A and B are shown apart, each in its own frame.
Chain A
Amino acid sequence: MRRLGARRERGWAAAILGALALLALLPLAVQRDDVLNFVFVTLLSITLAQSWNIVAGYAGQVNLGHAAFFGLGALTARTLWIGGAPLAAALAAGALVATAFALLIGVAAFRLRGAYFAIGTLALGEILRTTVSNVLPEISTLPTAAIATYRLSQRYYLALALAALSVVTVALLSASRLGLGMQALREDEEAAEAAGVGALRLKLTALALSTALAGLAGGLFAYYHISYYPSHAFSPAWTFDALLMTFIGGVGTLHGPVLGAILYVFLKEYLALRWVDFHLLIFGALFVVIVLLLPGGLVQAAARARRLLAR
């Protein structure tokens, strides 16, 4: 059973990476910016959802302060990049700062369990957001030289690379000893500890991986936008988006967050044409139904449907 699951995960990883490889050809075939922007947002969402999935889906720690790490990555990368640092270095620094902050607060936050961990991280995220919006109230705009050389395709390929990186990370993790330990932790912390799983070390590892990816996604966001308020990258909406996409797709699976992100972005863009924020009413309600009736999300629904058809 376990092996079968692992084989299926590998199949999904190959399918998703294949699809991403095909998307690399898209800018050659389609010159329209709106299409590329749409795919960009989807790719960014996949990375964000997948990063949240590592700590919440695999290690079972519902982190409601995820936006803080996205925001720290964005802030660090933007500041360094505008200051003249090479892009790769700026992105890496963003990921590093996000991870360092995560490890710093993780030691304290992981003393809290369950709901207390969730609301504790929510509060930490809000502390950071309020502070950033007070210290940096001005809008951040790229220098004119950078705007003149702005190429959407560069952003697009970076988004593609990060989405692939997030999928590969989760695929490797889910098959590894480390990932199995995290899942044991998620199912029953006491039992896992008794079986020799070091809970705190594993939780911190999951948080570090998760926040490094979130920091990179934040850096991508900072590289993409010509101007935005620095505090916007710290908005709790980033956490909520990641949570919705992951849960609707299927939390704790490789392909769930990817499917969830595609569906989420697609419906969000489609519904926004008629009614701003309408998608939140639908997704909020859908999310409640999923938690109550279908905790495995769309992935579980598909598995059930398959079983019914096979009968």
Chain B
Amino acid sequence: MSVLAQQLLLGLLIGGLYGLAAAGLSLVFGVLKVLNVAHGELIMLGGYGTFWLVTLLGLDPFASLALVLPLALAGGLALYWALFGFVVRADEETRVKNSLLIGFGLALALHALAVRLWTADERAVVTPYGGAVLGVGGLSIPLVRLLSLALAFALIAALHLLLRHWRWGKAIRATAEDWQAALLAGIDVRRAYLLAFAIGTGLAGAAGTLVSIGYSISPSIGLEWTLKALIVVVLAGLGSMLGTFVSGLFLGVAEAASAAAFGGPYREVAGLVIFVLVLVLRPRGLFGR
């Protein structure tokens, strides 16, 4: 019993990162109608950013977030200007298809680049407090992962507040709802696109940092994280960041449950089956509007 509870708890902890990974993808998809399948590769790069800051500069991995997040935002701006800014000029159907293809080419190129820069080995960031564990009623909670979950939630809550109260946050939401109406209301839609894409990339970078601390990174984790993020986005639907976070937690727990029931190697399958079922049965997602 306590083994199962422990597994579910660990599932919940990684679920927070699924939620964070999905939030960026959901924002970009919801606002720009651009599906960036290189999102997982952006997460991977964020992880290596932290890896470098920790091993080369001796920073604390959590503190590296203060550098990785702005760097990822800047990277998002560059990506938008170089690639995705051209895609949003097309009509919506072409937009989705072309962004899918571009993201796919980008993913391949970034993966090859990462193998070149950091080799294909798995890496993890080591900290003196990495092994610390919090014992609660027979369960042991790895402190680092608990902190990661809290940070993931803080970032999502901050995004939620930004979208609700910040001037440009409202502009982003209006653009997501109906870009033509937003344009007529005097909103600079292109700038809303740019901001949403940069924020989405920033969140991917932050997710990468947290992944590299509590878990491990390698150049090939991109596809895996893209799929996790896609599953959560489809599960949650577009338009609710808090819903996305909850769906991330749900996926983490569902994976842990299926690993407990069918054996470890099948944890991936559970998420993918949920994904296909939701796609076919309820394409709007659970929290979607």
Does A154 belong to the interface (CB within 8 Å)?
no
Query: With a CB–CB cut-off of 8 A, which chain A residues contact B223?
Result: 236
Does A223 belong to the interface (CB within 8 Å)?
no
Across the interface, B269 reaches (CB within 8 A) one of A114, A130, A286, A291, namely A130
Across the interface, B98 reaches (CB within 8 A) one of A123, A283, A284, A291, namely A291
A245 to chain B, nearest CB (A): 13
Query: With a CB–CB cut-off of 8 A, which chain A residues contact B273?
Result: 127
On whether the beta carbons of B96 and A115 are closer than 8 Å, the reply is yes
Supposing A114-B97, A130-B268 touch, asked if A292 and B102 sit within 8 A by C-beta, the answer is yes
Q: Which residue of B lies closest to A117 (CB)?
A: B279
Does B101 belong to the interface (CB within 8 Å)?
yes
Query: With a CB–CB cut-off of 8 A, which chain A residues contact B106?
Result: 284, 288
Does B266 belong to the interface (CB within 8 Å)?
yes
On whether the beta carbons of A123 and B276 are closer than 8 Å, the reply is yes
Across the interface, B266 reaches (CB within 8 A) one of A62, A119, A130, A284, namely A130
Supposing A122-B227, A236-B223, A247-B101 touch, asked if A284 and B280 sit within 8 A by C-beta, the answer is no
A117 to chain B, nearest CB (A): 9
Query: With a CB–CB cut-off of 8 A, which chain B residues contact A118?
Result: 100
On whether the beta carbons of B93 and A126 are closer than 8 Å, the reply is no
1/0 per residue, CB under 8 A from B, across A126-141: the answer is 1100110110000000
- What's the Cα separation between A280 and B222 when bound, in Å? 15
On whether the beta carbons of B269 and A62 are closer than 8 Å, the reply is no
Does B105 belong to the interface (CB within 8 Å)?
yes
Query: With a CB–CB cut-off of 8 A, which chain A residues contact B111?
Result: 277, 280, 284
- What's the Cα separation between A111 and B283 when bound, in Å? 10
- What's the Cα separation between A134 and B267 when bound, in Å? 11
Query: With a CB–CB cut-off of 8 A, which chain A residues contact B163?
Result: none
Across the interface, A285 reaches (CB within 8 A) one of B105, B230, B266, B272, namely B105
Query: With a CB–CB cut-off of 8 A, which chain A residues contact B112?
Result: 277-278, 280-281, 284
On whether the beta carbons of A287 and B104 are closer than 8 Å, the reply is yes
Query: With a CB–CB cut-off of 8 A, which chain A residues contact B275?
Result: 120, 123
1/0 per residue, CB under 8 A from A, across B74-114: the answer is 00000000010011000001001110111011111111110
Supposing A114-B96, A284-B112 touch, asked if A291 and B105 sit within 8 A by C-beta, the answer is yes
Q: Which residue of A lies closest to B98 (CB)?
A: A291
Which A7-52 residues have a C-beta within 8 angstroms of B?
A: none
Does B116 belong to the interface (CB within 8 Å)?
yes
B13 to chain A, nearest CB (A): 22
- What's the Cα separation between A275 and B178 when bound, in Å? 47
On whether the beta carbons of A284 and B276 are closer than 8 Å, the reply is no
On whether the beta carbons of A280 and B109 are closer than 8 Å, the reply is yes
Does A243 belong to the interface (CB within 8 Å)?
yes
Query: With a CB–CB cut-off of 8 A, which chain A residues contact B230?
Result: 119, 123
Does B157 belong to the interface (CB within 8 Å)?
no
Query: With a CB–CB cut-off of 8 A, which chain A residues contact B97?
Result: 62, 114-115
Q: Taking each of A112, A277, A286, which has the highest tally of chain B beta carbons within 10 Å of its own beta carbon?
A: A277
Query: With a CB–CB cut-off of 8 A, which chain A residues contact B102?
Result: 288, 291-292
On whether the beta carbons of B272 and A115 are closer than 8 Å, the reply is no
Does B35 belong to the interface (CB within 8 Å)?
yes
Does B67 belong to the interface (CB within 8 Å)?
no
- What's the Cα separation between A291 and B115 when bound, in Å? 24
A237 to chain B, nearest CB (A): 10
A81 to chain B, nearest CB (A): 27
B197 to chain A, nearest CB (A): 16
Does B265 belong to the interface (CB within 8 Å)?
yes
Does A178 belong to the interface (CB within 8 Å)?
no
Supposing A119-B230, A124-B276 touch, asked if A284 and B109 sit within 8 A by C-beta, the answer is yes
- What's the Cα separation between A109 and B106 when bound, in Å? 26
Supposing A116-B283, A280-B108, A284-B107 touch, asked if A123 and B227 sit within 8 A by C-beta, the answer is yes
Does A266 belong to the interface (CB within 8 Å)?
no
Does A108 belong to the interface (CB within 8 Å)?
yes
Supposing A114-B96, A281-B113 touch, asked if A130 and B104 sit within 8 A by C-beta, the answer is no
- What's the Cα separation between A62 and B99 when bound, in Å? 13
Q: Which residue of B lies closest to A134 (CB)?
A: B265
Q: Which residue of B lies closest to A129 (CB)?
A: B268
Query: With a CB–CB cut-off of 8 A, which chain B residues contact A240?
Result: 104, 108
1/0 per residue, CB under 8 A from A, across B236-270: the answer is 00000000000000000000000000010110110
- What's the Cα separation between A111 and B35 when bound, in Å? 19
1/0 per residue, CB under 8 A from B, across A233-262: the answer is 000100010011001000000000000000
Supposing A120-B279, A122-B227, A123-B275 touch, asked if A134 and B266 sit within 8 A by C-beta, the answer is yes
On whether the beta carbons of B101 and A291 are closer than 8 Å, the reply is yes
Query: With a CB–CB cut-off of 8 A, which chain A residues contact B93?
Result: 114
Chain A: residues with CB nearer than 8 A to chain B? 62, 108-109, 111-112, 114-116, 118-120, 122-124, 126-127, 130-131, 133-134, 236, 240, 243-244, 247, 275-278, 280-281, 283-288, 291-292
Top 7 nearest A-B pairs by Cβ distance?
A284-B109, A284-B108, A287-B105, A281-B112, A288-B105, A280-B112, A115-B96
Q: List 27 A-B contacts (CB under 8 A).
A: A62-B97, A62-B100, A112-B283, A114-B93, A114-B97, A115-B96, A115-B97, A116-B283, A123-B231, A123-B272, A126-B268, A127-B269, A127-B273, A130-B266, A131-B266, A133-B265, A240-B108, A244-B108, A247-B101, A275-B116, A277-B111, A278-B116, A281-B116, A284-B108, A288-B106, A291-B98, A291-B101
Given contacts A119-B35, A277-B111, A284-B110, 9 further A-B contacts (CB under 8 A): A115-B100, A116-B279, A119-B37, A119-B279, A123-B279, A281-B109, A283-B105, A288-B102, A292-B83
